[in-house]
Structures are given as structure tokens and as C-alpha cells.
Structure 1
Amino acid sequence: MHLFPEKEWLFILLVISLVIWLIFLGNSSLRDWDEGTYALVAREIYRTGNWLYPTLQGEPFLLKPPLMQWLIACCYQIGGVQELTTRLPGAVLTAVGVPLLYLVGRLAFKQSLPALFAALVYLTMLPVVRHGRLAMLDGMTISFFLLLLFCLLKARQNRRYALGVGFCLGLIILTKGMVVLLLGAIACLFLFADRQLALLKSPYLWVGILLGNAPAIAWYTAQWQHYGNTFLEVHFQAQAFDRLIQPVEGHSGPVWYYLFELLKYGFPWLLFLPGGLYLAWKKRHTTWGSLVLLGTIVYLVTISFMRTKLPWYIMPVYPFLALAIGANLSEVWQSCDFRVRTWTIFLAIIAIAGLGGCVYFLIKKEPILIVMSIVLAISMSIAAWLVKHRDRKFIPVLFTGMYLVLILLVSSQSWIWELKEAFPVKPVAALIRQHALPGTTIYSSFAYNRPSLDFYSDCKVISASVAVLKEQFYHQSYLLLDHPTLQQIILSEYQVLGTANNFTLISPSIK
């Protein structure tokens, strides 16, 4: 595995990361909720030039800090308003996290092989690839945090790197707000565990914190002065602290919710996680051991006991898991210590699942996913055979197989499978744009509001009950009705403007 020197590995990791995060990035519609919402906010920044006080359809957007929306608005200015430019900033910054994790691992392990394995594991984790390609905040937040850890570790050799710690904290705040308290606490605990207390006396650290956080402090101060207590209540109370003590918008789950998320999407790397965590515990007094244990335990325990549960909250734990798995794979590579029976059985099960997927996608007539399933079945079968024969080459086979599987997945239009949970928005949005002026408020019989529909239609589509629909109709509003509601609702004269995806757009008749 020592084919290339460190700089070349960094370049290779960056290139293959950019490929998997950027290929066919704009081939699917924006997803509800975050993607559609951030795209709406960024488009209003782009159109109005109101960078300091972002709005969502004319109303103050107080939920999140604006760094992601600023970056998307910049991309809109360069490449126009489209899916690709919406997702580009987050995807690029997430991809940079792979070489950053290699650098962190190189400093933590003091050797390159486990660092390389950790970076490749992170590169081929399904949740990391998928969420990093979406216009969401988690991938770029992780990359800023990895940069922070790199600066902390590098500061042991050169105190000037401590300047970067403060700037990374500021970037995290401007991206995802109060999550900086949890990530900052992990970094601080690691500082103590790694016996770097002398760094706390370094003027570089405190100057970096002062300068790096100045833009975030200035932005928060401007919002508070402009919106008053409303900003504090929405941004801090509703969006941050309420999520600790109560389920927000019904997003709840048991304490083991995130362990189940790991089980759903963690294979095949989950096979090597117990061994990695055991190694970390055995070497808990080392830099990498303390980092893995602190990051995994503190972060997982905190989000597990939060009352609000969402799948992407688990994202920042993946770099720590990748480091643990990378350490275990490195140990296997060097010592050829195999758990033959367990690994062979599980890899064979994944191979059989790949064959099952092949049959399923044949029925669904999804050619790219058929090829994906075949690649998964073949690579896992080869890896299982190599494990059975105690051949360490199963590790590069797993990396190659998973990389190709993920490339094929994102090349299809199924990598955002949530889009199939509701009607496709683009045909309905095209119908609305054809008949309604931008900014028009339209009332819909659909069960909930969809920011993606608002984005594509350039109108505000509000979900409403039948009673409200009737009331708004007599106030000369457009209605977007599904067929059962259209047959059920009793209205006076109206005109049908068009139909798309089983939705009909109607307006009061012009007398």
C-alpha cells in the first residue's frame, strides 16, 4: 500500500473524492426539507442582494447561520440557479474532508497506513457520500471540524497552527450554529486527554479564536439588533435548545435510534468497528485512541439522549468511526490476524443481498442499479473468498468494490430515494409557472408544505384543509387540488388551468 509518497496520496484522495461527490450532482430534483429551503434562501440573496439579513419567501430566515446560503448564492451568480450550483459548495467541502481526515490520521497515528485506510473508509461510507452531495450543512461542518483537529495536532510542532483553531470554530458557527458547543467540547476534552495543556497558554490560539469568531459574532449581533428577542427565541431556543428537551416537529426516537442508523447503512465497514474500538480502548493513552473514544462516546451519547432525532445528526461521528476502522484494518494488514468465520459469513450475506438486489432491479428495469448490484455481489464474493484464505488483499478489494458501487448509485437517479416518498415536483411546478406570476400564493390539498415545490414553481404553495381551501378560493386564490379533493370540494364557478401528476390547478372564473 506504500505505492505513493504522502503528497501524492493527498492528491489522489482529493481527486477520487471530488469524482464521487461531483459526478451527476445535478441529476435529481432538490429534496425536501433542507435542500429546498436553503435553495429558496440563497435565491433570494442572489436576487435581492440582501446578504446580511436572509429571507425565506420574504420572511426573515432565522433558523440557521448563512454561510451555506452565501456560498450557494455565489454559485448562482456564476453558474445560474440549478441543482448543480445548489449542491456544489457542500459537495466540494465534504470531498475535501477525505484528505483532511488522512492528514489528521497521519498526525494521530504517526504512520500513514492506518490514516490511509481511515480516509478510504470515510470515502466509501454511504451516509457520508449521500448527505455530502446534498445541499445540507453536515458534510461541510465535518470538514471544518477535521481542519480544526488538524490544526490542534499540528500545533504541537508549530504553535502558529493554533491560529487555525479559532477560524475553524468561526466557520462551524457560521455553518451550523450551536453544534459548535458540542464539537468544541470534544476538541477541548481531546486537548486535555492528549496532554496539550501548554497550548492553552499560546497567544496564537487566543488570537485565532478572537479573529476567527469575529465574523460570526458580528453576524449574530447584527441579527439581534435587527430582529430583537425574536431572533434569540427562534435561532437559539426553538432551533437549538428545544431539540435537547423535546421532539421538534414530531422527530423523535428511542435512545438506540442512531445505533440502528449505523446498522442500516454501516456495512461492510461495521464488521471492523468492534475490533477498531477495542484497539482504541487498549491504546486509549495514545493520541488516536483518546481521539476516537472521546469523539465517539461524547458525540453519540449526546445525540442519543437528545429528544429530537434526525438521521443526519449522526454524521459527525463517522470520522471517528473511520479512524477506528482504519486502525483495525491496518492491524489486519500488518499482522494477518483474521476473524475468518465471522467476516466470511457477513461478506457472503452482503454478496447474496447484492444478487437479490440484481433481481429486484431487473423487475424494476433499472439498468444502472442492476450493474451496481452485480458489482456489489462480485466484490463481496471475492472479498469473502480472500478472507477465507487469509489473504489481506480483501481490504483493497473492499475499497474498490464499495467505491464502484457508490459511483454507480450516484450515477442513477435513485441516490436520493426520499424523492419517491411524494409526487415529483417539477411537472406540477411547471404547471404553476405557466399560469401564476412569481411570488403568487397558492393553496394546496397536499398533506404538507414542500419547499422544493416552492423553489421550482417560484410561488408559495401552502398546504390547507378543505375549509381553508374554500375560504381562500372565494378570496380569489389559486388552488392546487388532488383528484379526490377536487371531486369532494364544492365550489362555485371555477376554471381548470391544467393538470399534472394527478394535481389540478384551478382559479375562480373570470366573469
Structure 2
Amino acid sequence: MNRQTFIWGHSGSRIRSTQRWVERMWVFSLLLAALLLFCINLDSPPLLNGGEQTVNQVARELSSTPWASWQWFYPTFGDQSYVEEPPLLYWLIALAYKTGNDSTLMTRLPTALLSVLSIPLFYGIGREIFPSRQNALFSSFIYLTVLPVVQYGRLAILDSTVLCFVMLMMVCLLRSRRDFRWSLGAGIGFGLICLTQGIGLGFVLLAIGFIFIAWDTPRLLRSGYWWLGWVLGIIPALVWYTLPLVYSQGFLTANLVKESLQPFWHSVEINRILKSDYDYLLELLKFSVPWLLFWSYGLGLAWNNRNWGWAKFVLVWTGVYGGAVCLMAFPLPEYSLPLYPALALAGGAQLTAVWNLPRSQSYPRLWLFGLSFMCLGAIASTIYLVLEASQSLFPVVSSSVALTLAGAAILVARRDLQFIFILFWGMYVSLLLLMTSSHWIVS
């Protein structure tokens, strides 16, 4: 009797211990999968002309500078101050050069490791806003297998570096609804965004967070402790932006603010704006295979459930950032990176809803037609690459994608839920094959 009582009395703690162990295993698995995908074959091909080579040059000059030099706060390119971007990425790469050497691998490694870290942080976002672990896992698998996220996440560019800090800010913002102390982490994340890509993107993401809080948890906006955490968190970024004013070098701050906001206020003709937005939309659609099919339904699901916290978060993030991109004069493909987390959350919610449907209920016909059309496109690409006698792994990659889409289409036609796992596993393997080649930078 005592033995039974002992077991019963500790059942709650044992369940909690098991849940924590399962949670850690999932986080470790996601981290390991991301580490392999983002870091394999990182030193090939050589640094890209323009962006990566500029980053390499600035970081190289910085790594040879004494620690006490003013140049560490405001790097130079040649003999002039480099005020186009804030210095956080250059700091990280310069530190990598000091610990290792000046090579392609060391140039890309800091960004790749931050991209790896962004995956468990994104999973943390899902665990905060969704009622079940399944939603968070499906969303994380989608996010991990989006081509632009992986491709740009391996490059030494600002757009991919900032994603990790976006995840940090958002997960801390969500957790601050339960514990005010997490607002400090949200403020630190915002400050790191501003120190990476400027205050323009920082304020757009800050607007997303504040609009969501005003809609979902407005009581936080009346809390002095919550605001105090934000203020303390952004102090390092605030000091960096205002320090030149103390030393009578206000032109640095003025130029940095101007460069940060230039994508939003650059004046161009209206037809050129429409054309650039059209090209941007095509790029977004082209690189969203096959998850675009589920994102659209996920956004509809969010709208129908907009009284739930996760739906509010997805709708605000998608609407505010999508609107900001439309205001940009020339939206580049990499500008879409902060949009993919919101779309992945929507897709994960949709797949979870499908998983819980009655077995007798059919799936949307668009899924079957869409997957079949994408499969035919992948087959046509494979045939073209074989006829061209391509020496790269592209025919193998396109064949892998075609098999994945074909298998998923067949399972969708049979109303078999295994199509979800076929898509996850097949897209991951296809991306892994692509990253092992020397032509993983695709356009």
C-alpha cells in the first residue's frame, strides 16, 4: 500500500520530468538537423561579389585593428568610415578571423551558427503561442525546409544574420506575457536587430510586437516593469547610435539613420515600384515550393480563428511586414526572410488541423493539383538537366524533389496523413543534397 501511494504521489513530477526530457530531445534534434544543413560544405563556392566580399574586407580590416581603437565601434572600408550598415556582423566575423583565419569558411561560419540557433528559438515561439507541441514541430519543420531560409542563412549577409535576433525578440516578447522579466530579453533582441541591420527593420518588427500585444495582452502596455525591461535591453544599441554625438561626429549617426530608412523613403516612379513588387512576389512564390499550398490555407485558418493568440500573432506579423515590404522602393528577395517565420507558423497550424480531421474528410483538391503540377515541373527540370549533361548535383536534387512531390500527391489522393512526413523528410534530404554541391547558391 505504501509503495502504491509513493508511486501515485510522485506521478505528477514523473510526468513533468518525462515531458521535459521529450522537449529537450526535440530541441536537440532540431538543432542537430539545422547544424548539418546550415554548416555542411560551407566553404564552397567562393565569397559572392559585392555583399560577401565587402563584409570580408571590412571584417579583415577590423581584425587587424587594436582593441582600443575607435574603428571597432565604427568600422572603415579602405580609408573611409563604412556607415552603410551597423557593425555587429563585422564584429562577429572579425572575432572569427582572430580565432581562426581569413577564409571563406570563417567568413560564413558566424552567420551559419546564428541561423542554426534561430531554429530552436523559432520552436520556442511555436511552443509559446500554440496549445500543443505538434503545432510547434510542424511549423519548425516547414521553416527548416524553406530554400531561402537555408540558402541565405549560409551566406555572410545581414539579412540572414538578423533572423536569429528576430526570433530572440519574438520568443521573449511572447514569454513576457507570463513573466515581465522576459521583456529584458525582448529589448536585447530589438537592440541586436538595430545593431545588425539598422533601425528601419528594427522599428518594423517592434511595431509587429507592440500591435500584437495591444490586441492580445493590452495590460502589458500599462506595466512599468514591462517597459523597464525594454528600456534596459535597448541601452547598448542606443549608446552605439548616440556615441558619435558625444565626440562631435554626428554625421555618423545621421548617415546610419539615413541608410537604415532609405529602402522605405527612396523615391521612384510608380510603374517601377509595381514592377519591383511583382518581381518580388514571383521570387516569393518560386522559392516557397511546396509550402505555399499550406500557407494560404493557414492564413485563412488564422483569420477564422482570430480570437486566438496564435492567429493574432500570425496575422499581425504577416500583415505588418508584408505591408512594409510593399512600401519599399526595390524589395530584394532577401527582404522576404523575416516573413517566412510567420508563414511557417500558419502552415504548421494548417497541417496540425489536417492531422486532427476525421479520416473520412477529404483534403482540398488544390493540394493534389498543386503537388502534381510541382512534381511535373521537377521532372521537366530533371530531364532538362540530364540532357544538358550537367556535372553538378542538380539532376539528383531535382529528382529527389520530384519523388517527394509525387509521393506526397499520391498520399493526398488517398487521404493518408503520411504525406506530411514525406514532405518534411523529402524536402530536407533534397536541401541537404543541394548544400553538398558547389552550386547551392541558386537564383
1:416 is aligned with what amino acid?
A: I
Partner of 2:11: none
Alignment of 1:312-351 (within 5 A): 312-335=334-357, 336=359, 337-351=361-375
Contact 1:14 1:99 in 2 (8 A): yes
Contact 2:57 2:77 in 1 (8 A): yes
Aligned: 1:147 with 2:168 = yes
Partner of 2:143: 122
CA distance in 2, matches of 1:227, 1:398: 57
Residue 196 of structure 1, CA deviation: 4.0
1:2-54 deviations in whole A, cap 9, x for unaligned?
Answer: 9x822211110111011101011111111132211111111110012331220
Higher relative contact order (CA 8 A, sep 6+): 2
Match of residue 103, structure 1, among 116, 119, 124: 124
Gaps (5+ residues) in structure 2? 1-18
CA distance in 1, matches of 2:248, 2:354: 57
Aligned: 1:414 with 2:431 = no
1:294-333 deviations in whole A, cap 9, x for unaligned?
Answer: 0001110111122232111111111000000000011111
Task: Out of 377-386 and 408-417, give the one that drifted further.
Answer: 408-417
CA change 1:28–1:367 in 2 (3 A) is closer
Contact 1:258 1:304 in 2 (8 A): no
Contact 2:244 2:250 in 1 (8 A): no
Match of residue 311, structure 1, among 327, 330, 333: 333
Q: TM-score, normalised by structure 1?
A: 0.77
Aligned: 1:360 with 2:384 = yes
Q: What is the aligned-residue identity percentage?
A: 37
CA distance in 1, matches of 2:123, 2:62: 36
Alignment of 1:248-397 (within 5 A): 253-335=275-357, 336=359, 337-362=361-386, 363-397=388-422
Match of residue 20, structure 1, among 29, 37, 40: 37
1:343-398 deviations in whole A, cap 9, x for unaligned?
Answer: 22221222222222222332242342222122111111111111110001000000
Larger Rg: 1
1:222-279 deviations in whole A, cap 9, x for unaligned?
Answer: 334557343244322244246423259xx95444443322211111000111210111
Alignment of 1:210-225 (within 5 A): 210-225=231-246
The structure richer in helix per residue is 2
Contact 1:340 1:390 in 2 (8 A): no
Aligned: 1:55 with 2:79 = no
1:355 is aligned with what amino acid?
A: I
SS in 2 for 1:48: coil
Residue 95 of structure 1, CA deviation: 1.7
2:372 is aligned with what amino acid?
A: A
Partner of 2:12: none
Partner of 1:177: 198
Partner of 1:234: 255
Residue 340 of structure 1, CA deviation: 5.0
CA distance in 2, matches of 1:414, 1:24: 11
CA distance in 1, matches of 2:115, 2:85: 19
Partner of 1:486: none
RMSD (Å) for aligned C-alpha atoms = 2.2
Contact 1:244 1:308 in 2 (8 A): no
